[in-house]
């Protein structure tokens, strides 16, 4: 039997098919347990008629009894979860680019992520010294002369040792297998550039320069079997013009990528993100 009491807000997270009276029933149960609602966010996704709710509350309660009464009050298909909003345990995957990794290491050092970076795993040694300066373990796992399956098996072995709640791709430049992605469904977060129009390949900023793009952006998303087409968490854009060289565009891209990734993690780790089909519902 788990009893929780704290002045720190607890979170109630609910998703279920929509029907009349849901907010009333949820509020009634919380009131019946003597709990005080501090903030309530709710939304109905109209095309699928699905209800989402994030409630911050305080008070003393017995978790099993509260959940049981909520289940009795809500549709049978309801997904109901309690959270104490504690820092999440995460592992970062990186390759050679430092901008996203360094941003997260600094924010972690100053406790701005609501997370604990347990380790960094990389297929190159380049970022090892940077990582160790922050007292974070660094695991170098070379992909040379290995199949993707063999390399991922070694990475998975390290990850399993840490049992992270989330894995963050901080510019990890390896295509992941569907099996790897499935193992961390809705727990694998990636960042990549966003151009209008889109450019693929090894030199996107050179292509963008040649086409004279006017906007450079970044997208943070959950990874699914389509890799870069998973549910979007956060995006941002910055303007550029004909005076920017390809190198300056690339630097601008790195700046926006690290900010968008950090923002997406803040949202996810604060339990503000619901994944519904291939999109997200976000209470910011």
Active site residues: 228
**Residue 59, token pair as written in the block:** 């008070």
At residue 149, the 3 state secondary structure works out as helix
**Residue 232, token pair as written in the block:** 């979007």
Q: Strand ranges (DSSP E) for the chain?
A: 3-4, 10-17, 36-45, 50-58, 61-62, 79-83, 88-94, 115-122, 138-140, 166-169, 188-195, 215-222, 232-239, 273-276, 279-282
Please give the Cα distance from 236 to 282 (Å, whole number): 15
Please give the Cα distance from 253 to 266 (Å, whole number): 20
Q: Angle of helix 99-109 relative to helix 246-269, nearest 10 degrees?
A: 40
- Displacement of CA 47 from its chain's centroid (Å): 24
Q: Number of C-alpha atoms within 13 angstroms, CB side, residue 232?
A: 10
**Residue 63, token pair as written in the block:** 């978790």
């Amino acid at each position: 039997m788990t009893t929780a009491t704290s002045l720190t807000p607890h979170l109630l997270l609910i998703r279920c098919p929509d029907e009349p009276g849901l907010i009333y029933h949820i509020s009634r149960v919380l009131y019946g347990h003597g709990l005080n609602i501090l903030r309530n966010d709710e939304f109905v996704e109209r095309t699928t008629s699905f209800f989402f709710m994030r409630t911050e509350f305080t008070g003393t309660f017995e978790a099993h009894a509260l959940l049981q009464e909520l289940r009795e009050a809500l549709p049978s298909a309801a997904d109901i979860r309690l959270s104490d909003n504690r820092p999440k345990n995460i592992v970062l995957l990186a390759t050679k680019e430092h901008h996203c990794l360094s941003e997260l290491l600094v924010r972690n050092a100053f406790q701005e992520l609501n997370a604990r970076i347990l380790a960094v795993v990389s297929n190159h040694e380049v970022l090892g010294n940077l990582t160790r300066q922050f007292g974070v373990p660094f695991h170098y796992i070379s992909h040379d002369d290995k199949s993707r399956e063999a390399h991922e098996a070694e990475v998975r072995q390290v990850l399993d040792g840490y049992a992270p709640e989330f894995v963050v791709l901080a510019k990890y430049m390896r295509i992941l297998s569907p099996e790897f992605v499935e193992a961390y469904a809705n727990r694998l977060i990636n960042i990549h550039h966003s151009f209008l129009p889109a450019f693929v390949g090894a030199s996107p900023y050179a292509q963008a320069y040649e086409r004279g793009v006017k906007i450079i952006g970044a997208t943070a998303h959950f990874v699914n079997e389509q890799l870069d087409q998973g549910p979007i968490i956060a995006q941002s854009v910055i303007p550029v013009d004909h005076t920017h060289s390809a190198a300056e565009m690339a630097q601008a891209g790195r700046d926006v990528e690290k900010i968008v990734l950090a923002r997406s993690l803040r949202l996810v780790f604060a339990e503000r993100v619901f994944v519904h089909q291939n999109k997200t519902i976000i209470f910011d």
